[in-house]
Structure 1
Amino acid sequence: MPKKYGVKEKDLVVSHILHLLLTGKLRSGDRVDRNEIAVGLGVSRVPIQEALVQLEHDGIVSTRYHRGAFVERFDEATVLEHHELDGLLNGIASARAATNPTPRILGQLDTLMRSLRTAKDARAFTDLAAEYRRTVNDEYAGPRLHATIHASQNLIPRLFWATYQGGREEMLPFYEDETSAIHRRDPDGARTACVDRSYLMAQTMLAELFRRRVFTPSDDAGRVVPGPLQVLTGTDTVCGEASLAL
């Protein structure tokens, strides 16, 4: 495979492994074949090891001494959990924005909302939605929260949403609600909009994974949370990007 210049080799390996997961080519308990990745991507074992360290930290793989790296549990509940965390973590930053919205941030969000409403296609909407999240997170999320949000997005492939034609109609109302909550200084409302948006994204993603038979109905039906996660109110703490096409 030709090298992609401007992309860190470690990030390329991370994206490749996540792609294998999201297409069903790697499944729970499978051993990650480092040699196959090295040959396929044309990289050395160093970035592969760096990628596996990151993926182990993010709960995607686990390493066993002298045996290699193996895929952790990857099922319906895992995908839902990643989305739940994404909603909660982005909700922390959004709630902070609603607690202390500055005229500059409000102006930037209003400009982005006008663009989101008139986005002509799924890719444009996805890019604008990512810019909306960056605007809020760059202003209100510290380094630790930024890093945790990034890790939670591993199983939320951006390229899927860039080609999903129903994204604008389904997701725009949540951005409307979030922006309105920030304007009226309603942190609980802003947090709820993030959680509800992520829950719908999870259901859409799971439907696609079932359609492509990456998952089957018997995979994890008993462990999936049946409804949206309850929002934490009155707190900024939660206790105890992979750009991929499916």
Structure 2
Amino acid sequence: MSADTAAAAGASLPPPGEAMVRRSSGEQAALYIRRLIFDGRLRQGDRVPQDEIARTLGVSRIPVREALLSLEREGWVTIRPHRGAFIGSLDEAAVRDHYALYGLVYGFAAQRATERSTPELVSRLGAVCDRLDGEDDPAAVARLNREFDGLIMKTASSPRLRAVLRAMVGIVPGNFFALVPGAVEVERAGSRTVLQAIAAGDGGAAAGAYATMLQRQGDLVADLFKSRGLFTARDEAGAGGR
């Protein structure tokens, strides 16, 4: 899709979907634009059809502009004065770095949680892992993932960590475990390894297990994006193979 045809395609934009529920208008717009990129409806160099997106979402252009500012900070779009917003190039290294950073943040939380661990925490994390082992529904896996991470963040008891996580935005537009093949298996194995490290009182191992799990999730996302043609030829030529 060229920059000239992108705006015309706006008339056939897909509906926003259930993932938009309980989000602010700006967050809805940002998630929706990420989904358009993920689905290949908007590609590198395309102009973002702001009016059509606003009509599709039933919002004014203000939340769409807010979303574009946020997406520019994340590297998804480039805003050109008096010309509009255009889809930027996705970088495979940036995708992998995104998950490596998640691993560092959650790893730090796991280390802190290990220092403050109680038998109750180990028991509750173990119960989540047991439920993960028998669960294949992506929505249920996502809930269990949030419960596991939430227990660790609560035990770590670090407002600063929570602030850092709030500033980090997921790059997969939708249920991660439904969209990324292999993600459920990585989550099961990784969460169990984190639990074992916390139960053993080894904060360093818990941090390392989280980092490894998130790195593997990042590998899956990079492979998925590559299979969808979301990386430019230049990015693919410069990236190392797996």
Tell me the TM-score normalised to structure 2 length.
0.78
Unaligned runs of 5+ in 1: 228-246
Q: 1:164 to 1:220 in 2, by over 3 A?
A: closer
Correspondence 1:31 to 2:41: no
- Aligned-residue identity in percent: 31
The 1-side partners of 2:219 and 2:146 are apart by 19
1:235 matched residue in structure 2: none
The 2-side partners of 1:16 and 1:194 are apart by 29
8 Å contact from structure 1 (residues 82, 153) kept in 2:
no
Q: Deviations over 1:54-81 (max 9, x none)?
A: 3334343343443433334413222212
The 1-side partners of 2:76 and 2:108 are apart by 24
Correspondence 1:110 to 2:126: yes
Correspondence 1:146 to 2:162: yes
Tell me the TM-score normalised to structure 1 length.
0.77
1:222 deviation in Å?
5.1
Q: Deviations over 1:202-242 (max 9, x none)?
A: 222222223333336x3413554678xxxxxxxxxxxxxxx
Q: 1:153 to 1:191 in 2, by over 3 A?
A: farther
Unaligned runs of 5+ in 2: 1-14
The 2-side partners of 1:179 and 1:170 are apart by 14
Which has the higher Rg, Structure 1 or Structure 2? Answer: 2
The 2-side partners of 1:64 and 1:71 are apart by 11
Question: 220, 228, 231: which one pairs with 2:235?
Answer: 220
Root-mean-square deviation (CA, aligned residues, Å) is 2.8
Q: Secondary structure at the match of 2:235?
A: coil
Q: Secondary structure at the match of 2:82?
A: coil
The 1-side partners of 2:216 and 2:170 are apart by 17
Correspondence 1:176 to 2:192: yes
8 Å contact from structure 2 (residues 177, 183) kept in 1:
yes
8 Å contact from structure 1 (residues 83, 153) kept in 2:
no
Q: Deviations over 1:163-191 (max 9, x none)?
A: 55643333312111111111222222111
8 Å contact from structure 1 (residues 21, 27) kept in 2:
yes
2:211 matched residue in structure 1: 195
1:16 deviation in Å?
0.4
- The residue identity in structure 2 corresponding to 1:66 is H
1:53 deviation in Å?
3.0
- The residue identity in structure 2 corresponding to 1:95 is Q
